[in-house]
Amino acid sequence: MSVSIEIRKLDKRFVLRHTRSIKEAALWLVKGRKGDLSRKFAALDDVNLTVQQGETVALLGFNGSGKSTLLKHISGVMLPDAGSVRVRGRVAGLIEVGAGFHPDLSGRDNVFLNGSILGMTEKQIRQQFDSIVEFSEIGEFIDTEVRFYSSGMYLRLAFAVAVHTDPDIFLIDEILAVGDEPFQKKCLAKIRELNAAGKTLVVVSHDFDMVSKVCERGVVLEHGRIVKDGSVSEAITHLRAV
Protein backbone atom coordinates (compact mmCIF):
# COMPACT_ATOMS: atom_id res chain seq x y z
CA MET A 1 0.00 0.00 0.00
CA SER A 2 1.31 3.48 -0.77
CA VAL A 3 0.80 6.78 0.97
CA SER A 4 -1.93 8.89 -0.59
CA ILE A 5 -1.94 11.96 1.68
CA GLU A 6 0.83 13.01 4.03
CA ILE A 7 0.37 16.01 6.30
CA ARG A 8 3.20 17.08 8.58
CA LYS A 9 3.15 19.73 11.32
CA LEU A 10 0.45 21.71 9.52
CA ASP A 11 -0.36 25.12 10.99
CA LYS A 12 -2.94 27.56 9.65
CA ARG A 13 -3.78 30.80 11.37
CA PHE A 14 -6.57 33.19 10.53
CA VAL A 15 -7.18 36.76 11.57
CA LEU A 16 -9.62 36.81 14.46
CA ARG A 17 -10.30 40.51 14.37
CA HIS A 18 -10.13 42.61 11.21
CA THR A 19 -11.34 45.94 12.56
CA ARG A 20 -9.61 48.20 15.07
CA SER A 21 -10.24 51.64 16.50
CA ILE A 22 -8.37 54.76 15.35
CA LYS A 23 -6.90 54.99 18.88
CA GLU A 24 -5.50 51.46 18.67
CA ALA A 25 -4.04 52.12 15.22
CA ALA A 26 -2.50 55.45 16.36
CA LEU A 27 -0.91 53.83 19.44
CA TRP A 28 0.47 51.06 17.26
CA LEU A 29 2.03 53.64 14.89
CA VAL A 30 3.47 55.71 17.77
CA LYS A 31 5.00 52.58 19.32
CA GLY A 32 6.87 51.93 16.07
CA ARG A 33 4.44 49.39 14.53
CA LYS A 34 5.50 46.78 17.06
CA GLY A 35 3.50 43.58 17.29
CA ASP A 36 0.59 42.45 15.20
CA LEU A 37 -2.51 44.64 15.31
CA SER A 38 -4.79 41.93 13.99
CA ARG A 39 -5.23 39.11 16.48
CA LYS A 40 -4.91 35.67 14.99
CA PHE A 41 -6.00 32.21 16.04
CA ALA A 42 -4.91 28.75 15.02
CA ALA A 43 -7.53 27.09 12.78
CA LEU A 44 -5.12 24.16 12.36
CA ASP A 45 -2.46 23.50 14.96
CA ASP A 46 0.34 21.00 14.42
CA VAL A 47 -1.79 18.57 12.40
CA ASN A 48 -0.09 15.31 11.40
CA LEU A 49 -2.01 12.81 9.30
CA THR A 50 -1.03 10.00 6.97
CA VAL A 51 -3.67 8.41 4.75
CA GLN A 52 -2.88 5.28 2.77
CA GLN A 53 -4.17 4.76 -0.74
CA GLY A 54 -7.67 3.30 -0.72
CA GLU A 55 -8.50 4.40 2.84
CA THR A 56 -11.88 5.96 3.64
CA VAL A 57 -11.49 8.70 6.22
CA ALA A 58 -14.17 10.77 7.95
CA LEU A 59 -13.07 14.13 9.37
CA LEU A 60 -15.33 14.76 12.34
CA GLY A 61 -15.66 17.48 14.95
CA PHE A 62 -17.84 20.29 16.18
CA ASN A 63 -18.51 23.51 14.24
CA GLY A 64 -15.36 25.52 13.68
CA SER A 65 -12.99 22.70 14.66
CA GLY A 66 -11.06 23.00 11.37
CA LYS A 67 -12.46 20.16 9.22
CA SER A 68 -13.18 22.19 6.08
CA THR A 69 -9.90 24.09 6.46
CA LEU A 70 -8.02 20.78 6.56
CA LEU A 71 -9.91 19.52 3.49
CA LYS A 72 -9.06 22.74 1.62
CA HIS A 73 -5.37 22.16 2.36
CA ILE A 74 -5.62 18.61 0.97
CA SER A 75 -7.33 19.92 -2.17
CA GLY A 76 -4.68 22.62 -2.56
CA VAL A 77 -7.03 25.61 -2.53
CA MET A 78 -5.45 26.76 0.74
CA LEU A 79 -1.77 26.89 1.58
CA PRO A 80 -0.33 26.21 5.05
CA ASP A 81 1.42 28.86 7.14
CA ALA A 82 3.81 26.14 8.30
CA GLY A 83 4.25 22.43 7.69
CA SER A 84 3.57 20.43 4.57
CA VAL A 85 0.76 18.67 2.71
CA ARG A 86 1.65 16.09 0.11
CA VAL A 87 -0.82 14.24 -2.07
CA ARG A 88 -0.19 11.49 -4.57
CA GLY A 89 -2.31 11.58 -7.73
CA ARG A 90 -5.23 13.60 -8.95
CA VAL A 91 -7.47 15.23 -6.33
CA ALA A 92 -11.09 16.05 -7.06
CA GLY A 93 -14.26 16.40 -5.13
CA LEU A 94 -16.87 18.68 -3.78
CA ILE A 95 -15.67 21.25 -1.36
CA GLU A 96 -17.94 24.19 -2.01
CA VAL A 97 -20.98 23.95 -4.24
CA GLY A 98 -20.57 26.41 -7.07
CA ALA A 99 -16.79 26.70 -6.78
CA GLY A 100 -15.32 26.36 -10.25
CA PHE A 101 -18.63 27.32 -11.86
CA HIS A 102 -19.38 30.60 -13.63
CA PRO A 103 -22.95 31.76 -12.95
CA ASP A 104 -23.42 33.44 -16.35
CA LEU A 105 -22.43 30.37 -18.33
CA SER A 106 -24.73 27.48 -19.20
CA GLY A 107 -24.46 24.09 -17.53
CA ARG A 108 -22.85 22.81 -20.74
CA ASP A 109 -20.12 25.49 -20.73
CA ASN A 110 -19.58 24.97 -17.03
CA VAL A 111 -18.95 21.26 -17.55
CA PHE A 112 -16.04 22.29 -19.81
CA LEU A 113 -14.87 25.02 -17.42
CA ASN A 114 -15.06 22.84 -14.31
CA GLY A 115 -13.63 19.79 -16.04
CA SER A 116 -10.60 21.75 -17.22
CA ILE A 117 -10.09 23.27 -13.76
CA LEU A 118 -10.04 19.69 -12.44
CA GLY A 119 -7.36 18.77 -14.98
CA MET A 120 -9.30 17.15 -17.84
CA THR A 121 -8.42 17.89 -21.45
CA GLU A 122 -11.11 19.22 -23.82
CA LYS A 123 -11.11 15.87 -25.63
CA GLN A 124 -11.64 13.95 -22.37
CA ILE A 125 -14.51 16.25 -21.43
CA ARG A 126 -16.11 15.82 -24.87
CA GLN A 127 -15.82 12.03 -24.52
CA GLN A 128 -17.37 12.08 -21.04
CA PHE A 129 -19.94 14.83 -21.67
CA ASP A 130 -23.00 12.64 -22.26
CA SER A 131 -22.18 10.45 -19.30
CA ILE A 132 -21.74 13.54 -17.05
CA VAL A 133 -25.12 14.96 -18.11
CA GLU A 134 -26.78 11.57 -17.70
CA PHE A 135 -25.36 11.14 -14.19
CA SER A 136 -26.46 14.66 -13.19
CA GLU A 137 -30.01 14.12 -14.50
CA ILE A 138 -30.00 17.83 -15.38
CA GLY A 139 -31.64 16.99 -18.71
CA GLU A 140 -32.75 19.92 -20.84
CA PHE A 141 -31.54 22.44 -18.22
CA ILE A 142 -27.98 21.75 -19.38
CA ASP A 143 -28.24 24.81 -21.66
CA THR A 144 -29.65 27.09 -18.94
CA GLU A 145 -27.29 29.54 -17.18
CA VAL A 146 -26.32 27.97 -13.89
CA ARG A 147 -27.31 31.07 -11.90
CA PHE A 148 -30.87 29.84 -12.39
CA TYR A 149 -30.02 26.39 -10.96
CA SER A 150 -31.25 25.31 -7.55
CA SER A 151 -28.54 24.33 -5.03
CA GLY A 152 -29.41 20.67 -5.67
CA MET A 153 -28.94 21.12 -9.42
CA TYR A 154 -25.55 22.76 -8.83
CA LEU A 155 -24.56 19.82 -6.64
CA ARG A 156 -25.68 17.29 -9.27
CA LEU A 157 -23.62 18.86 -12.02
CA ALA A 158 -20.58 19.47 -9.81
CA PHE A 159 -20.64 15.91 -8.45
CA ALA A 160 -21.11 14.46 -11.94
CA VAL A 161 -18.08 16.38 -13.28
CA ALA A 162 -15.92 15.52 -10.23
CA VAL A 163 -16.53 11.75 -10.44
CA HIS A 164 -15.78 11.77 -14.17
CA THR A 165 -12.28 13.21 -13.69
CA ASP A 166 -10.97 9.81 -12.60
CA PRO A 167 -9.58 11.13 -9.30
CA ASP A 168 -7.11 9.21 -7.10
CA ILE A 169 -8.29 11.12 -4.04
CA PHE A 170 -11.92 12.15 -3.69
CA LEU A 171 -12.89 14.84 -1.16
CA ILE A 172 -16.42 15.60 -0.02
CA ASP A 173 -17.49 18.38 2.31
CA GLU A 174 -20.95 18.11 3.86
CA ILE A 175 -22.63 19.39 0.72
CA LEU A 176 -24.21 16.08 -0.25
CA ALA A 177 -26.85 17.23 2.19
CA VAL A 178 -28.40 19.56 -0.41
CA GLY A 179 -29.15 16.69 -2.77
CA ASP A 180 -32.48 14.88 -2.57
CA GLU A 181 -32.57 11.34 -1.20
CA PRO A 182 -32.45 9.44 -4.51
CA PHE A 183 -29.49 11.53 -5.68
CA GLN A 184 -27.69 11.11 -2.33
CA LYS A 185 -28.09 7.36 -2.68
CA LYS A 186 -26.72 7.50 -6.21
CA CYS A 187 -23.73 9.58 -4.98
CA LEU A 188 -23.03 7.14 -2.15
CA ALA A 189 -23.13 4.22 -4.57
CA LYS A 190 -20.70 6.07 -6.85
CA ILE A 191 -18.42 6.88 -3.89
CA ARG A 192 -18.35 3.18 -2.91
CA GLU A 193 -17.56 2.30 -6.51
CA LEU A 194 -14.62 4.74 -6.49
CA ASN A 195 -13.36 3.24 -3.25
CA ALA A 196 -13.73 -0.32 -4.56
CA ALA A 197 -11.50 0.80 -7.44
CA GLY A 198 -8.82 1.70 -4.87
CA LYS A 199 -9.42 5.45 -4.63
CA THR A 200 -8.82 7.34 -1.39
CA LEU A 201 -11.80 9.07 0.16
CA VAL A 202 -11.93 11.91 2.70
CA VAL A 203 -15.34 13.03 3.90
CA VAL A 204 -16.29 15.94 6.16
CA SER A 205 -19.71 15.50 7.69
CA HIS A 206 -21.90 15.80 10.75
CA ASP A 207 -24.05 12.96 9.43
CA PHE A 208 -22.82 10.03 11.55
CA ASP A 209 -25.09 7.54 9.77
CA MET A 210 -23.71 8.49 6.37
CA VAL A 211 -20.05 8.46 7.45
CA SER A 212 -20.49 5.10 9.21
CA LYS A 213 -21.73 3.69 5.92
CA VAL A 214 -18.88 5.06 3.79
CA CYS A 215 -15.84 5.44 6.03
CA GLU A 216 -13.73 3.00 8.01
CA ARG A 217 -11.44 5.49 9.73
CA GLY A 218 -12.52 8.48 11.81
CA VAL A 219 -10.37 11.48 12.68
CA VAL A 220 -11.73 13.94 15.25
CA LEU A 221 -10.62 17.57 15.26
CA GLU A 222 -10.99 19.90 18.22
CA HIS A 223 -9.83 23.53 18.02
CA GLY A 224 -7.64 22.69 15.04
CA ARG A 225 -5.91 19.68 16.62
CA ILE A 226 -6.43 15.98 16.03
CA VAL A 227 -7.72 14.55 19.30
CA LYS A 228 -8.79 11.10 18.11
CA ASP A 229 -7.76 8.89 15.22
CA GLY A 230 -9.25 5.41 15.07
CA SER A 231 -12.12 3.48 13.56
CA VAL A 232 -15.13 5.58 12.54
CA SER A 233 -17.21 4.08 15.37
CA GLU A 234 -14.52 4.92 17.94
CA ALA A 235 -14.39 8.48 16.61
CA ILE A 236 -18.18 8.86 16.82
CA THR A 237 -18.20 7.43 20.37
CA HIS A 238 -15.47 9.92 21.30
CA LEU A 239 -17.49 12.84 19.93
CA ARG A 240 -20.72 11.71 21.59
CA ALA A 241 -18.94 11.47 24.94
CA VAL A 242 -17.73 15.09 24.83
Size of residue set near ligand ATP by CB under 6 A = 10
3-state helix, strand, coil in the chain (%, to 5): 40, 25, 30
Q: What is the spatial distance between Cα 136 and Cα 183, in angstroms, rounded to a whole number? A: 9
228 interacts with ligand ATP by CB under 6 A: no
Candidates 67, 73, 199, 217; binder of ligand ATP (CB under 6 A) is 67
End-to-end CA distance of the chain: 34
Interacting positions 9-38 with ligand ATP (CB under 6 A): 14
115 interacts with ligand ATP by CB under 6 A: no
Q: Which residues of 142-152 are buried (b: 16+ CB within 10 A; e: fewer)?
A: beeebeebeee
Candidates 7, 10, 43, 95; binder of ligand ATP (CB under 6 A) is 43
69 interacts with ligand ATP by CB under 6 A: yes
Answer whether 156's CB lies under 8 Å from 136's CB: yes
The three-class DSSP label of residue 84 is strand
Q: What is the spatial distance between Cα 85 and Cα 121, in angstroms, rounded to a whole number? A: 26
C-beta closer to ligand ATP: residue 66 or 107 = 66
Minimum CB distance to ligand ATP, residue 150 (Å)? 21
Minimum CB distance to ligand ATP, residue 240 (Å)? 16
Candidates 53, 68, 124, 212; binder of ligand ATP (CB under 6 A) is 68
Interacting positions 45-64 with ligand ATP (CB under 6 A): 61, 63-64
Query: Who contacts 137 (Cβ-Cβ below 8 Å, separation ≥6)?
Result: 156, 183
> What are the φ and ψ backbone dihedral angles of 161, each rounded to 5 degrees?
-65, -50
C-beta closer to ligand ATP: residue 69 or 200 = 69
Which residues sit at the interface with ligand ATP, rule CB under 6 A? 14, 43, 61, 63-69
